[in-house]
Each structure stands twice: as C-alpha cells, then as structure tokens.
Amino acid sequence: MAEITIIQPREQPRRKLRCGAYCRVSTGREEQQHSYEAQRLWFMTLLGGSQTEELVDIYADIGISGTTTDRPEFMRMLNDCRHGCIDRILTKSISRFARNTRDCLAILRELRELGVTVFFEKENIDTARTADEMMIAIMGGLAQEESQSISRNIRWSLHRKMAAGTLGVARVPYGYDKVNGRLVINDEQAAVVRRIFSLYLGGMGARRIAALFNSEGLPAPESTAWNNITVYKMLAQEMYLGDIRWQKTVSVFMGTSHPNTGQANSFYVSGSHEPIIDRETFESAQALRLKSVRPAEKTNNSPFRQKVVCGICGRSYYLIGAARPYWQCTRRFDLVKPCTNDILHDETLSDLWRVIWTKFTNHADDVLLPLIGQLERIAEKVSENAESGRLDEIMQQKMTLRKMCAEGLISYGEVITSETELNAEYSSLIENCRKQKEHNSLLINEVKTLYKAVSAAHSDCCADILKSIRFAHDTADFELVSGIHIIMSIPKHKKRIITSHNPINAIRSLALCGGCGGRLSRRKVEGVYLWKCSNRRCSYWRSKHTDEDMIGNTTDVFSKVYADPRLVSLKCSMTEYRPTESVLTMLESLEKLIALGENAEMLIKAAVHLAEEKIGCIEYNVKTEQTAHIEDAIKNCVELPEFLIQAVRHIYVTPDRVRVKFINGKTVKSERSTNHE
C-alpha cells in the first residue's frame, strides 16, 4: 500500500519593502539646514527597527524650489524607481515632494504604474489607497498656492529694492569679481573685454573674434569655447560702462523667462561701479552692431517650417536664400563642432513631398483603408483580451491570501503587504489597458484624418498630416501623424542656370553632336560664330552651323510643339500599385495574428509597417510628371530660353537639322535645312 508523506509547513521568508526617503529644503541657509537634518533623522528613526521595511537610500535636495522637477536627487530617486530599486517612497509632506499640482499627480501616477507607493507623513496619505488621490490633488493645490504666494512676496520685495537702487548684482559679468557685495574689475579679464571692443571696431566680426580667442586658448566665460553669441552679448553689456539695468527679463510663476519688451518696469542705474569701457567706445560699438544687423527677411511660410530635422546632430533646419532657397542645419557653421550634414534645396524637398502626396492620393484605398480596418479589429481584440487572464489571477491570489489568513497560516500583516503589491500590479494593468485603448483610438483617428485629407486632395494640409522630416545626406525620412515613415532618396542632379535671356546661352548648355554625342564648340571665325563638333574622329566633324542656323532650327521645333502639344504628350498613369510577394505574405500573417488578438502593441507596429511596405510598392512614373512640366511651359507661353531650360534635356545637332529630346524622353525633329556646310 502506498505511503502518505506529511510535509510540515515552513515559514517562507518575506522580502522587506525597499524604501527610499526624500527630503528637501528650499534654501541653503543655516536655519534651513536644521530642517534638513531633522527630516533625515526622522526617516532613520522611523525605519531603524522595522521588520517589514528597510531603508535603501536618503535623497536630499538643498536650496532647490519644489515648483520644478529639475532636482538632481529627486531625479535620481525616480531613476532608481524605474530600475526597480525602490518599492516605497517616504516623505515628510506633499510640499516637500512637489509644489506643482500637475507635476505631482503625473509623477505619482507614473510611480503607481511602476508599483511604487508613496507615503506622506504630515498629511497621513498613502498612495496604496486609491481613495487618497483626490486628497493628494487638494493638498498639492494648497502647496502650489502657498509657493505662489511666497513668489509674489519675493517679487514685491525685489521691485522695492530695484526702485531704491539697493538690489545689488545677481550675476557677475565677465571682467568683474564680486567683493563684499560690490563689483571690482578683474584686470586679466578686463583686458580681454577691451580687446573685443577694439577688434570689433577695427572691422573684425564676432565670429572671427571667437575663432581667434579659441585658437589662442583663452578660457570662455560661459561655455567650453568662444562663439559669436558670447561676443555679441559682451558687446551689448551695459555693465562695462559702469551702469546696471534690472528687470531685463520677465517670467511667470513656474514658467520660462523671456526678454522684457515693455511687459514690466525696468530700472537703470548709472555709475554703480567702476567702468571697463568708456562711453564713446561703447556707443560706437553699438552703432556698428546695429548697422551690421540684416533687415528682416520675408517670413518663412513654407509648409515644412519647423519640421525639417538634421539626421546627424538632431538640430533643426532653417530655410534661407531668395533666388534658390535651401535648408541648412543650425549647427552648420558652429565654431566648436560644426555639423557635416548637407544642405537641402527647397525645390527638391517639394518634389519629394509631391511624389509622396501623389502616391497617397491615387492609392489611399489600397494603403489607408485596409490599415484603418486592421487597427479597428486590433482595438476590438484588445478590449476583449485586455490582460483578463492576469487580472483574474490577481483576484484569485487575493482570495487565497485571505483564506490562508483565516486559517491561521499567515499573519494579517503579511496579507496587507501582499495585497498592496497585488493592488499595485492590478492598477498598473488597468492603467496600461486604458492607455492602450486611448493610443489605439488616437491612431485610428489620425489615419482617418490622413485618409480624408488625401481623398479630398487637399495638398495644402501638409502642416496638419506631416510630423517631421529627418534629413541625412542622401535620404529624407518623412514621418506622418499616424506614425507612418516614408524614406525617400535625394536625387543627385545639377541645376542648369541661364545667365541671360539670350537663346544662344540656353542652346549652348544643351547642344550635343548628333554623331558622337560630344559637346559642340562655338568659335568666332572671320567675324561669324560657327558651331562644330570638337571630336576629329566624328563623321560630322566638318559640319558647321552659324548662330542663325541653330536658333532657326530650334525655333522650328519650338513652333511645332506649340502648334501641336500632342508631339510631346505621353499616355500613361502617374502611379501604379504592384504588391510584391513579401507584402502579400506579410498581409496574410498579420490577419492570422489579429485573429489571435495577442500583443496589441506588436500588431499595431506590424500593421503600420505593412502600410509603409505597400507605399514602397507604388511605382511613380516620373515621365508623367515631366510631361506635365512641358505642358505647363506650353500653356504659360514662356519665351524660348526659359522653355529650353524647363522642358528640354538635349539638342542633338546633325548637318541638316536638329533633334530636340525633351525631359520626358520624347523627340521632335526640325525641318531639313539647306543652309549648312
């Protein structure tokens, strides 16, 4: 008979909750130091003899306002939470944690998703209890209002001191030292300041001055190296005159500062300290600086404004130039580390966008409609299968814990600790599901907006559907609002430029020998310009043409095309969708995965990627667009030189006629001529 072995229950050691303590004082004054030490002592005493919690670290910020999250120790604590080093945060009060209600709630929600709870001792609030979130919002608002009141009082005090002329100096400019609250000239730095003014008035620009100082190894006042911005700031610094101006900038509570252009009173004090530059030199520098400022150019109304980004350094591109505008990186001429990325002509960028827009307009039903349907089916599956298995497991585990506690197998404290962890996981799963649904809904709406825009052929809505263009040397990555990325290659072509409206110049840039394909030479012989092939081995080498012959034959073709545009027309579709075998396979696999309804994030990425692959399968017929350019030139009745540059690729010259090859590949011959050698 089989024996039954009885195994005695063993008490499983439970891991202690890892706690991090956060404390903060607003200033570094002595009385605030006592507050800081008191907060540290309280945390160490609280967790010193705990059996369920252990102190991991104490994070302390000194002299930093709670209205901002840019606090070194606070950010270090958040990073430790994100890396799973902390299970619980202890802090004295909400005002110590944050005085900005919006930031406070956002951080607490992120911590809850990470499974980290926060306990505020003064208010007796614990984020492990869901009902306490409203109380946190109320207390956080009160802390923010208190901070705002303190800020108003400080501003009022500062304005009183400005009006009385007793405020003092906040920032010490380069060239001075602060001794006993007063500015004293630093002889070594003052010599550099005087040299800057001397070089600038001597005709050297700010960029050249910065480059000179960098080559000499002079330490820069604000950064690792001198630059033109630093030089310009020093040239405009009125403190070198011995004067001081207060309230140069204005700011709002918890906002960024910006130049004071009349929003608030400013205060100017003359002769507050010893000058470095005399007034005549300073005013001469200001006059020269204002004279060298370029007048404001036409506002950039390009649809790509603030959307072109450098793919090398990550900085933005800006549009310059009038005759042929182009985009260039803001760090292209940086003195320390210039960007090596190329410029991008606006005409090229517009052509690339036109190709993308044409593909979408002609094939929205092939690309966007299936994507919308796939995303909607994924959203339905997410609603059905949204982590339901794990949620049921958590509820079952909680019931098991309570049953074990009722039977005396585990203590009530252990139940509370375990349920706290399970509740945090449960809340995190629910929040993730909610966010996933919101993301799906937003993505579907964006794709629908894109579909409506291309269906209505509103090409002027580029600013609404285009997120960014990341340009790097020979490629441009167009990102649309729905997350679709379209990578385009930058065509390498040279722009032909007409130096005058003389047709001879236009013909000369296009004319080739009809026999060998080489360039024709044009030389003056006995007062007459003659055209001939430069290749002695060419069968047409002895053939010669005058300027009148060349203009006459070319004008003959010009007249034929204007009389009958069908000579250069092409009948073919601009785009054609040809799905590859790999695209069809991806489509079949995606449909099977959607039916299973697992891993919604992966399914969404796969659906968007499939749409991108479909766009790559749309063949764009460049000749159709080129034909449109020729027809536009004919319709606008442009002059012969402009028509040749816009519509013609080459002019092949034979002994008795010319063959004009247009940019779409069509060829038109002139009538035979008898006036040739």
Of 677 and 331, the structure prediction assigns the larger pLDDT to 331
Task: Please give the average per-residue pLDDT across 146-164, as a whole number.
Answer: 61
pLDDT band with cut points at 50, 70 and 90 for residue 253: very low
Name the pLDDT band for 494 (thresholds 50, 70, 90).
Answer: very low
The pLDDT value recorded for residue 500 is 47
Among the listed residues 223, 244, 225, 227, the one whose alpha carbon sits nearest the alpha carbon of residue 178:
244
Residue 115: per-residue pLDDT: 82
Band the pLDDT of 461: cuts 50, 70, 90: low
Q: What is the mean pLDDT of residues 605-628?
A: 80
Q: Which two tokens stand for residue 672?
A: 């035979």
| Confidence grade of residue 276 (pLDDT, cut at 50, 70, 90) | confident
**217: helix, coil or strand?**
coil
* Domains annotated on the chain, with CATH: 17-160 (3.40.50.1390), 172-292 (3.90.1750.20), 296-494+580-610 (no CATH), 503-572+623-669 (no CATH)
Confidence of residue 254 (pLDDT cuts 50, 70, 90): very low
Neighbours of 436 (CB within 10 A): 19
Q: Which two tokens stand for residue 120?
A: 């505020």
pTM (2 d.p.): 0.53
**Per-residue model confidence (pLDDT) at position 112:** 80
To the nearest 10°, the Cα dihedral for 637, 642, 644, 648? -90
* Residue 429 to residue 273: CA distance in whole angstroms: 64
Please tell me which residue, 546 or 599, carries the higher pLDDT value. 546
pLDDT given at position 463: 58
Asked whether 57 and 80 are in contact (CB, 8 A), the reply is yes
* Distance (Å, whole) CA 286 – CA 526: 61
Look up residue 279 and give its two tokens.
């007034």
Cα separation, 541 vs 252, whole angstroms: 80
Identify the bridge partners of residue 317 per DSSP, sorted by sequence position: 329
Specify burial of residue 315 (Cβ count, 10 A radius: 0-12, 13-18, 19+).
middle
Q: What is the mean pLDDT of residues 363-373?
A: 84
- Sign for the pseudo-dihedral over CA of 367, 369, 370, 371: positive
Q: Could you give the CA distance from residue 664 to residue 263 in angstroms, rounded to a whole number? A: 60
Condensed to tens digits (0 to 9), the pLDDT of residues 13-70 reads 567 788 888 887 765 555 555 566 777 777 777 777 777 788 888 888 876 765 566 7
**Between 192 and 100, residue with greater pLDDT:** 192
Would you state the pLDDT for residue 36? Answer: 65
What is the model's pLDDT at position 360? 82
Query: Which range among 263-272, 318-327, 485-494, 576-585 shows the weakest confidence by mean pLDDT?
Result: 263-272
In this prediction, residues 355-379 reach a mean pLDDT of 83
| Helix and strand numbers, DSSP H then E, in the chain | 19, 27
pLDDT in tens, 650-677: 889 888 888 888 887 888 888 876 655 5
Report pLDDT for 435. Answer: 75
**With helix as H, strand as E and coil as C, how does 608-652 read?**
HHHHHHHHHCEEECHHHHHHHHHHHHHHCCCCHHHHHHHHEEEEE
Residue closest to 80 by CA, chosen among 116, 46, 51, 47 = 116
Q: Which of 268, 287, 360, 290 is nearest to 574 (CA)?
A: 360
More confident position, 322 or 142: 322
- With pLDDT > 70 as the criterion, what percentage of the chain qualifies? 76
Determine if residue 313 is left, alpha or beta; phi over 0 gives left, psi from -120 to 50 gives alpha, anything else beta.
Answer: alpha
- Check whether 252 has a pLDDT greater than 70: no
Q: How far is CA 660 from CA 174, 497, 648, in A?
A: 68, 19, 7
> In this predicted structure, what is the pLDDT of residue 364?
82
Percent pLDDT > 90 in the chain is 1
pLDDT for the residue 498? 44
Residue 661 near residue 669 (C-beta atoms within 8 A): no
3-state secondary structure of 157: helix
The mean predicted confidence, pLDDT, of the chain is 77
pLDDT grade for 290, boundaries at 50, 70 and 90? confident
Q: What is the DSSP string of 116-154?
A: -EEEETTTTEETTSTTHHHHHHHHHHHHHHHHHHHHHHH
